[in-house]
Amino acid sequence: MNQDSVERRQFVKQSAVLAAAASAFPSGAHAQSEESEKIRVALIGCGGRGTGAAAQALTADDRTELFAMADIDSEQLVKSREVLEKNVQSPEQVQVDPERRFVGLDAFQKVMDTKEIDVVILTTPPGFRPFHFEAAVNAGKHVFMEKPVATDAAGVRRVIENAKISKEKGLKVGVGFNRRHSPIHHEVVSRIHNGDIGEIPLIQMFNCRADVNKRKTRVEGESELQFQVKNWYYFTWLSGDFMVEQSCHEFDVVRWIKNDAFPVSCQGQGGRLVRKGPMNGQIYDHYSVDYEFPDGSIITTQHRHIPKTWSWFGEKIFGTAGTAELSFKRAGFVQPTDPSKKPWGGTEKENSYQLEHDHLFAAIRNGTEFNEAERAAHSTMFALMGRMASYSGKVVTWEEAMKADEEIAFNPTSWDDEAPFYPDENGEYETFLPGVNG
């Protein structure tokens, strides 16, 4: 991650962001009392998204300090720290002494064992998220964790169990479903809930784009486990497959529109047209999954990562009295058919990635209730059950998905541990085939 990519994530705090946060949510951390103390933060997973999340955490509260960092790669940790020192409001907020720069598979636990730390940012590959979240809850730390929160049914159940414990402990937990903090999304969803477009029999969800290139070459001497973790995006046990890893944003928005209801069932299909060869691991490059909800409404979804194809992601909402849309351009509109109701449209000017941290740290500072973990686990399962249906070629119900004995992710303790999957003599990995091994 270079400095330009950091700047593209808009780490600099904008006054509009703070105004939106103050109007839509409880008073923020920027209004903290003068006697407030420092909030010490640790970053676990120092890649691009982790570095971005740490910068946003330091922007959310003037008395926030990055106190420790952890990663499996010492060079990545150094790069992340250097980027943060150059991009935060005050370099004094980055106070990561050498003895608090932890490297290795057990680095996350060393962070948890550091008593001075108040908040941990969990941005390692998603397959590790349930284990790291559990460790954070056991250690009594507040948490910000990226989406998705698991890559299998067992992981979802682990997150839900620890979400309940975190609430009992009064811990604050934020999750990277940033659209829940977007003023544009709030406006559109509020108008839908107010009945501006009537009942909602159909929602179309899209995540179609060219490709996501995170491929890294194999290095002589590294173990199979090291190679897979380095290329985590392309292995289901680590990423959940691309529909789970990326489309989970859209799944969360749909659940929000549906008042966080659970789907009844889904069926779908997918496969690999262009993601072939050793560097593409196991994951698909396209999906089409349909869901049914208890009220009889249907959610149709399309997911595609193929170069030189139509690119669009967002939601198209079809009501009995109008339509609405939310797009990746951070734009939205509501178009009622009733002439007595005015249409509405707008484009996002605030940075919802920043807002989600503003709201989390406001809750930590003010002691207000804030815990997104269980809701995030259910949104993750919404995506996961679609993958289950596509891999298996079968109809999957919500109950079946939640109780599934699927457990593909694990928390390794050594690079010599057995990897869940191995390549064949050509270096290619067996993918999941409906009716065969899905």
pLDDT band at 8 (very low <50, low <70, confident <90, very high): very low
DSSP single-letter state for residue 393: T
Give the SS3 label for residue 113: coil
Say if residues 270 and 242 touch (Cβ distance below 8 Å). Answer: no
Please determine, for residue 14, whether its predicted confidence score (pLDDT) is greater than 50: no
pLDDT in tens, 214-261: 899 999 999 999 999 999 999 999 999 999 999 999 999 999 999 999
pLDDT at residue number 36: 55
Q: Where are the alpha helices (DSSP H) in 221-339?
A: 224-230, 236-239, 242-245, 248-257
pLDDT at residue number 240: 98
Please determine, for residue 414, whether its predicted confidence score (pLDDT) is greater than 70: yes
Average pLDDT over residues 331-338: 97
pLDDT at residue number 19: 33
Burial class for 328, CB neighbours closer than 10 Å (0-12, 13-18, 19+): middle
pLDDT in tens, 168-223: 999 999 999 999 999 999 999 999 999 999 999 999 999 999 988 889 999 999 99
Please determine, for residue 347, whether its predicted confidence score (pLDDT) is greater than 50: yes
Domains of the chain: 3-179+355-371 (3.40.50.720), 199-319+379-403 (3.30.360.10)
Average pLDDT over residues 92-97: 94
Please determine, for residue 387, whether its predicted confidence score (pLDDT) is greater than 70: yes
pLDDT band at 11 (very low <50, low <70, confident <90, very high): very low
pLDDT at residue number 90: 84
Please determine, for residue 24, whether its predicted confidence score (pLDDT) is greater than 90: no
Say if residues 406 and 152 touch (Cβ distance below 8 Å). Answer: yes
pLDDT at residue number 211: 86
Please determine, for residue 16, whether its predicted confidence score (pLDDT) is greater than 70: no
pLDDT at residue number 28: 35
pLDDT at residue number 95: 94
d(CA 63, CA 315): 38
Q: Per DSSP, what are the bridge partners of residue 289? A: 268, 301
pLDDT at residue number 31: 34
pLDDT at residue number 17: 35
Pairing state between β 298-305 and 286-292 = antiparallel
Average pLDDT, the chain: 91
Please determine, for residue 9, whether its predicted confidence score (pLDDT) is greater than 70: no
Average pLDDT over residues 147-160: 98
pLDDT at residue number 35: 40
pLDDT at residue number 182: 96
| Between 435 and 431, the higher pLDDT residue | 431
Average pLDDT over residues 94-118: 97
d(CA 17, CA 22): 9
Nearest to 251 by CA among 326, 193, 160, 144: 326
Say if residues 281 and 432 touch (Cβ distance below 8 Å). Answer: no
Average pLDDT over residues 5-13: 36
Average pLDDT over residues 66-75: 97
pLDDT band at 335 (very low <50, low <70, confident <90, very high): very high
- DSSP E strands in 293-384: the ranges are 298-305, 312-319, 322-327, 331-336, 344-347
Average pLDDT over residues 56-73: 96
Say if residues 72 and 229 touch (Cβ distance below 8 Å). Answer: yes
Phi/psi for 6 (5° steps) reads: -65, -45
Please determine, for residue 34, whether its predicted confidence score (pLDDT) is greater than 70: no
The two structure tokens encoding residue 382? 């919404």
